[in-house]
Amino acid sequence: MKIVLFLCLFLSSIALAQESHTTGSCSPIAPNNTGSITISCPGMSKQQGQKMIDILNKILKDQLDPNLVLTKLDEIQAGVSSIKGELETKQHQEEDAERIRRTAPLIDAYLQPVDGKVYLYMKSKNLIPYEFRYFIVDSSNHVLGGFPIAMQAIYPKAGDDLKYIVKDIDLKGIPDHYIELWFAFQSLSYDELQLPGHAGEIIRKYKISNDATSLELIP
C-alpha cells in the first residue's frame, strides 16, 4: 500500500537533510518536499499503514518523547514474546501428555529370591505410567501373595525404572517346588481410550531349587 504523511506534522520536530537514503522494502524519501511524501510499502496492508499513521500523529499531537515511546514498545514486545513462549511451552506439554496417553507401556515383571524372601521386580522399558496388580500362587493356585483387588499406579522415571516389592514367602514350604507369577497391567488411560496394547498380562512359571535359594524359569 502507499502511506501519505503530511509534512506539516513533522516540520516542528524533524529537519529533512539535503540527501536522504533509505533501505528496506519501502521507497526512499524525497528531500525538500513542500507537499506530501508517499512511501510505498508493498508488504504492508492498508489497515497496518493507517495504524502507523495514527501512532505517529498521536506522538506528534501529544508531544510524546519518542525515546520513551520506543522503550514502552520494547517492553510490550518483550511481554508479548514472553506470553508467546509460555503458550508454546504449554502447547508442547499438552502434546507430550497426549503422546504419553496414547503410548502403550512396555513392562517386564519377574520373581527373584533374595535372602529367603521373594522379590517382585517390575521394569518399565519406555517410562510410560501404568497400573498393575499381581498374584503369586503355588501349583494348586493357592494365593501366596499379591494385590488381588485394586490396581496400583506406577510413575517410572529415568534412572529409577526398576521397582520391586518384597513378599515374605517361605520358598522351602511350597509344595512341588513350584511357584507362579500372574502380573496384569494397563496404561492409566486404558479405561478411557481402550487402545490395543495398552493392557496385558505377564505369566511367569518357576521351579524352586531344592535349597530354595534360586528360581528356574520354566518356558
Q: Give the chain as a DSSP string.
A: -EEEEEGGGTTTT-PPPSS----SSSPPPPTT-SSEEEEE-TTS-HHHHHHHHHHHHHHHHTT--HHHHHHHHHHHHHHHHHHHHHHHHHHHHHHHHHHHHTSPP-EEEEEEEETTEEEEEEEESS---EEEEEEEE-TT--EEEE--SS-EEE--BTTB-EEEEEE---GGGSGGGEEEEEEEEEETTHHHH--TTSEEEEEEEEEEPTTSS-EEEE-
- Taking only the tens place, the pLDDT of each residue in 18-64 is 445 555 555 555 556 565 666 666 677 888 778 877 887 888 888 88
Determine the average pLDDT of the residues in 80-92. 89
**What pLDDT does 13 receive?**
40
- Tell me the mean pLDDT in the region 115-119: 87
pLDDT of residue 49: 76
Q: Cα–Cα distance between 179 and 204 in angstroms, integer?
A: 9
Q: Where are the domains of the chain?
A: 2-99, 107-218
Q: What is the pLDDT of residue 29?
A: 54
CB neighbours (10 Å) of residue 173?
9
- Read off the pLDDT of each residue in 131-139 and give the average, rounded to a whole number: 94
> What value does the CA radius of gyration of the chain take, rounded to a whole number of Å?
37
Do residues 36 and 7 touch, judged by C-beta distance below 8 A?
Answer: yes
User: Per residue in 141-184, pLDDT tens?
Assistant: 999 988 767 899 999 988 887 889 998 898 888 989 999 999 99
Over residues 94-104, mean pLDDT: 94
| The C-alpha cell that represents 44 in the structure block | 504492508
Contact between 111 and 119 (Cβ < 8 Å): yes
Q: Which residue from 8, 37, 7, 10 is spatially nearest to 22, judged by alpha carbons? A: 37
pLDDT tier, 216 (very low <50, low <70, confident <90, very high otherwise): very high
- Tell me which residue of 207, 114, 117, 121 sits closest to 170, measured CA to CA: 117
Fold that domain 107-218 belongs to in CATH: Immunoglobulin-like (2.60.40)
Q: What is the amino acid identity at position 48?
A: Q
pLDDT higher for 34 or 209?
209
